[in-house]
Amino acid sequence: MDHLDTVVDNKTLVTNFVLMGLTDRPGLQVPLFLVFLVIYLTTMVGNLGLIALIWKDPHLHTPMYLFLSSLAFADASTSSAVTPMMLTNFLSQDHKTSLVGCFTQFYVFGSSATTECFLLAVMAYDRFVAICNPLLYQVVMSNDLCSWLIGVSYFVGFMHSSIHVSLLVRLTFCKSNIIDYFYCEILQLFKISCTDPTINIFLVLIFSAFIQVFTFMTIIISYFYVLFVILKKRSEKGKSKALSTCSAHLLSVSLFYGTLFLMYVRPASERTDNLDKMYSIFYTIIIPLLNPFIYSLKNKEVIDALQRIR
């Protein structure tokens, strides 16, 4: 063990963890650092740039774009919770992180990821109202309701993460201080706990299943009705454009939820560390990179806003 310095009841308790990262092969550390540095910088430019554009252009001060800017902030937070520490560890011989730092990292990640689930559901409902009930859109999706939905999404995210972190505090870690992962992932912490984590594991499964199934089904049902209305249109050009946009959104949603399901709802007997790392890379790093481009590059209003500020 690398650093164990608290003794309680003849047990040496961990106060620092060692994150092993994506790989222990020395020859891959610098190339991986450069790859993930480019990804992180692109992610931050894409998401923060989208937020700045939406807030700067009055034409984009509508519910759809307020939801999109909130999603961009959640994506930037998710990426920032995970990637900077991973980048540091690529070039460092000392992969230590404190217990408080580890819990804080998981709290920020958990809050952002949960918030993103609800924001994606809210955005799908917004598109359902706009396309299926266009005459009532301004009445149904008012600015007050928009602000309330965003606020509730973030509140649920913070509360969900707080529950898990408060339960993490009851655990003690004395088996090992080695986390064979690239961030402080909660299931990995359970593996090295010398306190029985059964209640923690049960609540992670229950909350994850409920949140993911509820929000995913909201998205699927909303897009089902949206696609139904789109396919009834006579304009082939409009139909093709709408289908292209919807398919891009659904691809992003499928990657995000698919990897979350495989990580947190799949039976423990089917888990392998290498596959889990790959799934985690998708929802912590790849999806935050893709979202600002998926939701804006084919959006005429965003493109027009970019041209106006040139």
Question: What's the total number of domains in the chain?
Answer: 1
Model pLDDT for residues 201-235, shown as the tens digit of each residue: 999 999 999 999 999 999 999 999 888 888 777 66
Which pair of structure tokens corresponds to residue 104? 């804080």
Give this prediction's pTM.
0.90
User: Is residue 280 predicted with pLDDT exceeding 90?
Assistant: yes
Task: Find tokens 């961030």 and name the residue.
Answer: 183
Question: What is each CA distance from 54 to 41, 57, 77, 103, in whole angstroms?
Answer: 20, 6, 18, 33
In sequence order, the 6+-apart residues with CB closer than 8 A to the CB of 113 are: 74, 78, 157, 260, 283, 284
Model pLDDT for residues 142-163, shown as the tens digit of each residue: 888 999 999 999 999 999 999 9
CA angle 213, 267, 221 (to 5 degrees): 15
Contact by Cβ (8 Å): 190, 30: no
**CATH number, domain containing residue 50:** 1.20.1070.10
Whether the CA torsion 118, 122, 127, 128 is positive or negative: it is positive
Phi, psi at residue 249, to the nearest 5°?
-60, -45
Which pair of structure tokens corresponds to residue 217? 């089904």
The whole-chain average pLDDT of the chain stands at: 87
